[in-house]
C-alpha cells in the first residue's frame, strides 16, 4: 500500500506546461477536442513540465498552486507533507496517508469567454476533457483511500452552479476567491469535518500573501492584483488594485531563475498602472520603467514579459512602451507578446460597461486609441493578442457595425483578435451562445477569425523558430490548415444559426 503525501496539489494537464516559453500557445486547449489531435496539444504546443519519476513531483507549477502551497506552509503545515504532483502521475503521490487533494482550475468546464467563442458552446473543449479525465482518476483513488477533494482557482465558479457535476467529478469542496492566507484554515476545517461545501474568500493586503516556495510555469510572478478600471463584465478587474513591492518581486523571480528559467513574466491585470495612485489612471512612468529595469537587472534574465496592459495606458505614456522594449533589447528579430482587451468600438457600450477603461481619454476616442496603440506597440516589437466581447448587455446592430469597421482597419498589423462571447459569472442563462447571435454578430465573429487566419499564417513561422525543425513543420502546417478550416466551420454555423452567408 502506497503511503502518499498528506496534502497533494495539482492542476489539469493544460496548466502544467511552459507552453514552449510562449503562453499564447496555451490557448490551444480552448479549441474543440474533436478537432485537435492530442499529440498537437501534449507534444507540439504544450509539452509537460518535468517531474520526478519516483514521486510524481512536478518541477514547476502554476503560480496559483505555488500560492496555495506557500499558504499551507505559512499556516503551520509541514513542507514534507505537501507535494505538487504532475497530473499524469498523481497516483505516485496519493496513498493511505493522503487527507486532501487540491485541484487548481482555470476553465474546468470549458465555458469561459474564450472557449465559448472557439466552440460557440456546441462542442467540448480540450480543457474540459482533460479536467474531467483528471477528476475521474482522482475519484478512483479517492474511493480507494478516502481523502477529500478540494477545487479552487480562477475557474472554480463554473462548478458552483451544479452540485450534480461536483458529485460526478468527486469534488467535495469549492474555494472561490483569493485563498492565499485562508487556505490553511480551510484545510483544517475540512479535516475536522466542519467546512462549508463552497467557501468564498478574499485576501485583504499584499502582506497577507505568502511568498512562493518553488518555481512557476513560464517564470510567472505576480506584480499586481486588480487594476482599478472596474469593467463590469470582467471578474478579475473588480478586485481592489494592489501592487507588489519590487524587493519582493525580485526574491520571487530569483526562485525561478535559480531553477533555470530565464524569463520573468509579470502577472497583472494592467501592468502600466503599476505604482499608479491617481484618479485619472494615468501611468506612473517612472514606477513602470523602474520595475522593468530592476527585474531585467537580475542575473541571467533574458527578458521581462508583461501579461496584460491597456491601449489607453500605452497611449497616455508611450515612453513606457519604448523603454520596456529597449530594456529587453527587442528588435526586428526579437518580438514579445502581450494580451490586451479591445472589447468594443462602441462609445455607448464603453460608457455603460467600462467607463474607466479608456481613462485618461474619452469613450469617443477609443477607436483611435486602439489603432494608434497597436501601431505604437508593433513599432516597439510587441505582438498583440486582443480580445473583444460579443453580446454585451445593450449591444445593438450599430454597436456591432462600429466594431466590425475597427476590426477591418487592423488588417496588416501584428495582432490577432479573439472574439469572446459575453459570459455572465452569476447567471448562466444570461451568457451568450451561438444560437443567440445576430447576423451582424456572426459577421463580426467571422471578421475576427479571418483577420487571425491571415495574421497567424504570416507569423507562425517566426513564432515557432525555437522549435526543433520537425516539430516546427508540424506546428506550422497544423496551424495554417486549422485556422482556414475553422473559417469554414464558422461559415457553416453562421448559416445554420442565423441564415447568413459570410464567404
Q: Is-contact 253 298, C-beta < 8 A?
A: yes
CA–CA gap between residue 145 and residue 320 (Å, rounded): 54
Residue 133: inside a domain = yes
Q: What is the dihedral of CA 445, 448, 453, 454, to 10 degrees?
A: 140
Predicted confidence band of residue 290 (pLDDT cuts 50, 70, 90): very high
Domain count within the chain: 2
Residues 224, 125: one domain?
A: no
Phi-psi region of 228 (alpha: psi -120 to 50; beta: other; left: phi over 0): left
Residues 286, 235: one domain?
A: yes
Residues 115, 64: one domain?
A: yes
Of 214, 218, 304, the closest CA to residue 258 belongs to 214
Residues 196, 279: one domain?
A: no
Residue 435: inside a domain = no
Q: What is the pTM of this model?
A: 0.91
Residues 116, 182: one domain?
A: yes
Q: What is the pLDDT of residues 219-265, one digit of tens each?
A: 999 999 877 666 665 665 556 788 999 999 999 999 999 999 999 99
Using the 3D structure, point to which of 174, 205, 236 is the last residue of a domain. Answer: 205
Residue 413: inside a domain = no
Q: What is the pLDDT of residues 19-36, one digit of tens each?
A: 888 877 888 888 887 878
Using the 3D structure, point to which of 383, 417, 451 is the last residue of a domain. Answer: 383
Q: With H, G, I as helix, E, B as strand and everything else as coil, classify residue 238.
A: helix
Predicted confidence band of residue 498 (pLDDT cuts 50, 70, 90): low
CA–CA gap between residue 406 and residue 343 (Å, rounded): 11
Residues 191, 269: one domain?
A: no
Residues 312, 343: one domain?
A: yes
Q: With H, G, I as helix, E, B as strand and everything else as coil, classify residue 11.
A: strand
Residue 406: inside a domain = no
User: Residue 288 carries which DSSP code?
Assistant: H
CA distances for 130 relative to 7, 101, 195, angstroms:
22, 17, 28
Using the 3D structure, point to which of 205, 235, 261 is the last residue of a domain. Answer: 205
**Section 471-483 average pLDDT:** 88
Q: What is the pLDDT of residues 396-439, one digit of tens each?
A: 999 999 999 999 999 999 999 989 888 777 777 778 877 888 99
Residues 186, 272: one domain?
A: no
Residues 369, 327: one domain?
A: yes
Residue 484: inside a domain = no
> Is the pLDDT at 501 greater than 80, yes or no?
no
Joined together, the cell numbers standing for residue 34 give 474533436
Residues 221, 260: one domain?
A: yes
Residue 440: inside a domain = no
Residue 368: inside a domain = yes
Backbone angles phi, psi at 7, to 5 degrees: -130, 110
Q: Which range marks the domain in which residue 74 is found?
A: 7-205
The CATH number for 364's domain is: 3.80.30.20
Q: What is the pLDDT of residues 70-120, one digit of tens each?
A: 999 999 999 999 999 999 999 999 999 999 999 999 988 887 655 555 655
Amino acid at each position: 500500500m502506497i503511503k502518499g503525501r498528506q496534502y497533494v496539489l495539482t492542476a489539469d494537464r493544460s496548466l502544467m506546461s511552459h507552453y514552449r516559453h510562449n503562453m499564447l500557445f496555451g490557448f490551444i486547449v480552448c479549441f474543440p477536442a474533436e478537432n485537435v489531435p492530442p499529440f498537437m496539444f501534449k507534444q507540439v504546443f504544450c509539452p509537460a513540465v518535468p517531474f520526478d519519476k519516483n514521486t510524481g513531483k512536478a518541477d514547476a507549477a502554476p503560480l496559483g498552486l505555488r500560492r496555495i502551497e506557500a499558504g499551507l506552509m505559512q499556516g503551520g503545515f509541514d513542507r514534507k507533507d505537501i507535494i505538487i504532483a504532475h497530473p499524469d502521475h498523481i497516483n505516485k503521490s496519493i496513498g493511505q496517508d493522503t487527507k486532501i487533494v487540491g485541484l487548481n482550475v482555470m476553465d474546468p468546464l470549458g465555458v469561459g469567454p474564450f472557449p465559448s467563442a472557439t466552440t460557440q458552446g456546441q462542442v467540448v473543449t480540450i480543457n474540459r476533457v482533460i479536467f474531467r479525465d483528471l477528476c475521474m482518476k482522482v475519484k478512483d483513488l479517492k474511493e480507494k483511500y478516502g481523502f477529500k477533494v478540494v477545487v479552487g482557482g480562477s475557474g472554480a465558479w463554473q462548478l458552483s452552479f451544479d452540485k450534480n457535476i461536483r458529485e460526478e467529478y468527486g469534488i467535495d469542496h469549492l474555494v472561490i476567491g483569493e485563498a492565499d492566507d485562508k487556505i490553511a484554515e480551510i484545510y483544517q476545517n475540512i479535516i475536522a469535518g466542519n467546512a462549508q461545501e463552497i467557501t468564498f474568500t478574499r485576501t485583504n493586503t499584499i502582506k497577507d500573501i505568502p511568498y512562493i516556495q518553488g518555481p512557476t510555469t513560464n517564470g510567472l510572478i505576480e506584480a499586481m492584483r486588480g487594476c482599478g478600471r472596474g469593467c463590469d463584465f470582467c471578474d478579475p478587474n473588480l478586485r481592489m488594485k494592489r501592487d507588489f513591492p519590487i524587493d519582493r518581486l525580485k526574491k520571487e523571480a530569483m526562485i525561478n531563475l535559480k531553477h533555470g528559467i530565464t524569463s520573468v513574466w509579470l502577472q497583472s491585470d494592467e501592468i502600466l498602472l503599476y505604482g499608479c495612485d491617481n484618479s485619472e489612471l494615468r501611468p506612473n512612468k517612472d514606477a513602470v520603467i523602474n520595475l522593468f529595469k530592476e527585474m531585467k537587472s537580475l542575473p541571467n534574465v533574458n527578458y521581462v514579459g508583461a501579461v496584460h496592459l491597456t491601449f489607453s495606458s500605452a497611449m497616455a505614456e508611450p515612453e513606457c512602451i519604448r523603454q520596456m522594449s529597449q530594456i529587453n533589447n527587442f528588435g526586428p528579430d526579437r518580438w514579445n507578446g502581450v494580451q490586451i482587451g479591445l472589447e468594443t468600438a462602441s462609445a455607448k457600450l464603453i460608457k455603460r460597461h467600462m467607463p474607466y477603461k479608456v481613462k485618461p481619454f474619452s469613450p469617443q476616442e477609443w477607436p483611435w486609441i486602439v489603432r494608434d496603440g497597436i501601431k505604437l506597440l508593433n513599432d516597439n516589437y510587441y505582438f498583440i493578442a486582443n480580445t473583444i466581447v460579443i453580446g454585451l448587455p445593450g449591444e445593438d446592430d450599430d454597436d456591432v457595425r462600429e466594431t466590425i469597421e475597427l476590426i477591418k482597419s487592423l488588417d496588416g498589423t501584428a495582432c490577432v483578435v479573439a472574439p469572446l462571447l459575453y459570459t455572465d459569472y452569476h447567471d448562466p442563462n444570461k451568457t451568450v451562445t451561438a444560437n443567440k447571435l445576430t447576423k451582424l454578430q456572426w459577421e463580426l465573429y467571422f471578421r475576427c477569425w479571418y483577420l487571425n487566419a491571415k495574421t497567424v499564417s504570416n507569423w507562425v513561422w517566426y513564432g515557432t523558430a525555437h522549435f526543433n525543425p520537425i516539430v516546427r513543420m508540424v506546428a506550422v502546417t497544423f496551424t495554417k490548415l486549422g485556422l482556414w478550416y475553422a473559417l469554414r466551420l464558422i461559415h457553416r454555423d453562421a448559416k445554420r444559426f442565423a441564415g447568413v452567408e459570410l464567404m
